[in-house]
């Protein structure tokens, strides 16, 4: 055999080895996707047939899917002085946005812009408004302590449809297992960067005992929690301040969690129904 032939055979062997490796990687990837499908809670009790069934790491929140601000015009995001999206919010009146108090802890109202009608953070669609003032709940003492709520007043009134707040008569929406939708531009997994697009996921609201099991200092008057026993679907970093919605009402404001989408570690949301009346004077 000439060296040329031997080289040729070696090259063919190398290609075969490379192809084999590539096939193994593809198979492993598929197995991984299957495993996450199995771990992702089914759509059975969520009322959302699409939730968590297809795995596509690029565009999915922790177990969620893309949605639009056309369908959810009250879903807004906040940008900081550098123009980066860092929290979510909900339009609750033409000039009022409800968000988390902790979103205002590292910034000032002068630096924040509220962006409405923009599904894709890299686009310039929708409209932006400066914030003239921010009211931070005097009951806020820190994440997980007190009422993690803030109300931003917009310089430019929004023409988009606001979302009504749940009130004291809406306790049924907080029953264990009741499906709710969370929205945001936050991280698509615990270690991921924020999402480029608005995402939504359906999660079951949990009873106080379950919430307390995941967070010993759980304050049932001001908080609720949501998530499947096995995790897999959750809000995450960057979703804070954004909406948790049931029956067309804002029932929660994304506040905190232990990591994201972990088993036995639900996401925690400010309980809007019990705090609504105290907020009323801030919303007009």
Q: Which residues are catalytic?
A: 102, 148, 240
Site string for ligand ARG, 131-170 (x = CB under 6 A): ----------------------------------------
Looking at residues 186 to 205 of the shown chain, list those that interact with ligand ARG (rule: CB under 6 A). 186
**What minimum distance in Å lies between the beta carbon of 101 and ligand ARG?**
11
Looking at residues 239 to 258 of the shown chain, list those that interact with ligand ARG (rule: CB under 6 A). 239-240, 254, 256-257
Site string for ligand ARG, 92-121 (x = CB under 6 A): ------------------------------
From residue 266, give the alpha-carbon distance in Å to each of 41, 68, 213, 240, 259.
13, 25, 10, 14, 9
**What minimum distance in Å lies between the beta carbon of 258 and ligand ARG?**
7
What is the size of the binding site for ligand ARG (CB under 6 A)?
13
- Of the pair 61, 93, the CB lying nearest ligand ARG is at 61
**What minimum distance in Å lies between the beta carbon of 36 and ligand ARG?**
17
**What minimum distance in Å lies between the beta carbon of 239 and ligand ARG?**
5
Dihedral pair phi/psi, residue 274, rounded to 5°: -80, -20
d(C-alpha 284, C-alpha 280), whole Å: 7
**What minimum distance in Å lies between the beta carbon of 206 and ligand ARG?**
12
Binding residue for ligand ARG, selected from 92, 114, 149, 260, defined by CB under 6 A: 260
- Of the pair 90, 237, the CB lying nearest ligand ARG is at 237
Q: Which residue is nearest to ligand ARG (CB)?
A: 257
Looking at residues 206 to 235 of the shown chain, list those that interact with ligand ARG (rule: CB under 6 A). 234-235
Q: Does 236 bind ligand ARG (CB under 6 A)?
A: yes
* Interface residue list for ligand ARG (CB under 6 A): 186, 234-240, 254, 256-257, 260, 267
């Amino acid at each position: 055999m000439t060296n040329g032939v031997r080289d040729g055979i070696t090259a063919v062997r190398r290609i075969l080895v490379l192809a084999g490796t590539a096939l193994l990687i593809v198979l492993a990837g598929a197995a991984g996707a299957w495993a996450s499908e199995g771990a992702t809670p089914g759509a059975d009790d969520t009322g959302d047939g699409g939730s968590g069934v297809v795995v596509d790491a690029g565009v999915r929140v922790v177990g969620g899917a893309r949605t639009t601000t056309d369908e959810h015009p009250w879903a807004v995001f906040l940008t900081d002085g550098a123009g980066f999206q860092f929290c979510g919010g909900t339009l609750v009146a033409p000039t009022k946005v409800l968000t988390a108090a902790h979103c205002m802890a590292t910034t000032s109202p002068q630096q924040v812009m509220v962006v409405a009608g923009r599904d894709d953070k890299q686009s310039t669609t929708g409209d932006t408004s400066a914030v003239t003032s921010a009211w931070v709940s005097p009951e806020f003492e820190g994440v997980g302590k007190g009422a993690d709520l803030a109300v931003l007043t917009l310089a430019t009134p929004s023409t988009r449809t606001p979302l009504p707040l749940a009130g004291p008569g809406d306790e049924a929406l907080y029953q264990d297992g009741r499906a709710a939708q969370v929205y945001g531009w936050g991280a698509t997994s615990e270690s991921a960067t924020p999402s480029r697009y608005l995402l939504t996921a359906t999660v079951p609201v949990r009873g106080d005992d379950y919430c307390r099991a995941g967070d010993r200092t759980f304050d049932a008057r001001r908080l609720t929690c949501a998530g499947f026993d096995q995790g897999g679907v959750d809000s995450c970093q960057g979703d804070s301040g954004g909406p948790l919605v049931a029956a067309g009402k804002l029932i929660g404001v994304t506040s905190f969690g232990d990591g994201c989408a972990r088993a036995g570690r639900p996401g925690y949301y400010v309980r809007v129904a019990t705090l609504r009346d105290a907020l009323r004077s801030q919303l007009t």
